[in-house]
Amino acid sequence: MSNLESALQKLQTQMTISTEEVLEIAHKFRAELAAGLAGKPSSLKMLPSFVTTPTGKETGEFLALDFGGTNVRVLLAELFAEGRFTVKASIAKPLNDPNGRYDYIYSKASGTQLFDFIAEQIAEIAKPGIKYPLGHTFSFPSQQKSINNAELIHWTKEIDTTGVEGQNVNQLLGEALLRRGVPNVMPEAIINDTVGTLLTAAYINQNTDLGSICGTGHNTAYLEPNAPWNHGPMIINTESGNFDKLDITKYDEQVDKASEQPGAQRLEKMSSGRYVGELIRIIALDLLQHGLLPNCSTTATQALSVPAALSGADVSLLIKDSTDDLTNISTWLEERLHITYSTKSDRLALKQIALLVAERSARLVAATFIGIINHIDENLDRNHNIAIDGTLYEKMPGYAANIEKTMTEVFGAKAGQITTVLSKDGSGIGAAIAVAITSSK
């Protein structure tokens, strides 16, 4: 066995999560969930949403604002009941211009600038003279006091805009709308994207009780049958990305140390699109620096030394290449990282690293779903539909299958009672559904 092969084997041992470990993680997750609900110290924030699942009868025309991190989207949606809806108009803009003209999500940008930019996008869609109730999907940990009052606890996903943490986000939005001269748009609900994903799928399928995002960030919400705030059903945003009862590798440690908020979002840093590319970069660089990818040039060291050089999409590309000589990876190395020379074993190593990181991510995520299902339905008496959105789940080869496989390992024949479904763009439509639920009360 070559040195590279034995290094990869060691990595496989570190990154593989056995069925027993899945169960152990699920168990710890469930314990954290219960502690958080009881107001005891927990890595899960367990944030109330003040909304429950829709009846499916909601109708009407609503504006929805989807603020997830990288982009902002505004949708004009019409709900027709029984899971039917249409998007009548939409606009999407990056919050950090790829051509470098503006950036509203770094430390030198202010909340005022950020929300003025967002109000500008809303004004593109809202016609003067028509009243629009607006639902806002704000995909960051927020302390919710009512359906329309959420204070940002702290940014995640490496966003750093000043003057928003601790503020009532829809108030900032409302003020920006007034400054922009669109008083006819009225923010009426604010939800997390996991809540939106759950709501959208539940509008179609009443068995839906979990909503999750496996994209730039990772987080899950679920329908708690007995929430402490209303002693009845309420959707809770667990902020599961912050779960930290996990065995970590030196690579996870490195990713965490170099992040905006070391110590926070440990599960997210092991599983989400914002970080999986980074993990692969760090592992590959480590092998390179130990002389284990000997055929790569110094260009490779330089290319792999750049933080955030690899994105979630790059990881998908590495996994997807099934050509005999891994020629797609070779082209990608040239075009993306300017590495003009590589051997097949270098490329194979990159693919194997990507597969290990992606599989670990899917199994960790599945373990948290199992923890939640065990909490709400210990003997698995009911059917559960898990709605998932995000690029990892939608686009990464094998990701969805790995989640299902992990569930089957744990639940056996009963795994058939649990369905997982892609809820594409659920976070945006979910905001419209949240307003519809609120206004029908």
Binding mask 268-307 for ligand GLC (x = CB under 6 A): x---------------------------------------
Least distance from C-beta 192 to ligand GLC, angstroms?
A: 5
CB 386 within 8 A of CB 417: no
Other CB atoms within a 10 A radius of the CB of residue 327 amount to 12
193 belongs to the binding site for ligand GLC (CB under 6 A): yes
Structure token digits, residue 302: 């330089």
48 belongs to the binding site for ligand GLC (CB under 6 A): no
Outline where DSSP puts E strands in 195-295.
208-214, 218-227, 232-237
d(CA 258, CA 308): 10
140 belongs to the binding site for ligand GLC (CB under 6 A): yes
Residue 294 sits at the vertex; the CA angle it makes with 291 and 298, to the nearest 5 degrees, is 90
43 belongs to the binding site for ligand GLC (CB under 6 A): no
66 belongs to the binding site for ligand GLC (CB under 6 A): no
194 belongs to the binding site for ligand GLC (CB under 6 A): yes
Question: Which one among 30, 157, 266, 360 touches ligand GLC, defined by CB under 6 A?
Answer: 157
Least distance from C-beta 215 to ligand GLC, angstroms?
A: 6
CB 110 within 8 A of CB 164: no
Exposed / middle / buried, residue 63 (Cβ in 10 Å: 0-12, 13-18, 19+): buried
Least distance from C-beta 158 to ligand GLC, angstroms?
A: 10
111 belongs to the binding site for ligand GLC (CB under 6 A): no
139 belongs to the binding site for ligand GLC (CB under 6 A): yes
The smaller minimum CB distance to ligand GLC, of residues 32 and 346, is found at: 32
Q: Minimal CB distance to ligand GLC: which residue?
A: 217
The smaller minimum CB distance to ligand GLC, of residues 349 and 434, is found at: 434
Least distance from C-beta 378 to ligand GLC, angstroms?
A: 26
Other CB atoms within a 10 A radius of the CB of residue 230 amount to 12
**SS3 assignment, position 173:** helix
Helix (H) or strand (E) holding 232: strand 232-237
d(CA 420, CA 201): 10
Least distance from C-beta 271 to ligand GLC, angstroms?
A: 10
68 belongs to the binding site for ligand GLC (CB under 6 A): yes
Strand partners, 187: 134
How many residues bind ligand GLC (CB under 6 A)? The answer is 16
d(CA 402, CA 367): 11
208 belongs to the binding site for ligand GLC (CB under 6 A): no
The smaller minimum CB distance to ligand GLC, of residues 235 and 353, is found at: 235
Residue 308 CB contacts under 8 Å (≥ 6 apart), including other chains:
277, 278
406 belongs to the binding site for ligand GLC (CB under 6 A): no
CB 213 within 8 A of CB 201: no
Question: Which one among 54, 133, 241, 430 touches ligand GLC, defined by CB under 6 A?
Answer: 241
d(CA 411, CA 339): 45
Least distance from C-beta 240 to ligand GLC, angstroms?
A: 8
Binding site for ligand GLC (CB under 6 A): 68, 139-141, 156-157, 192-194, 213, 217-219, 239, 241, 268
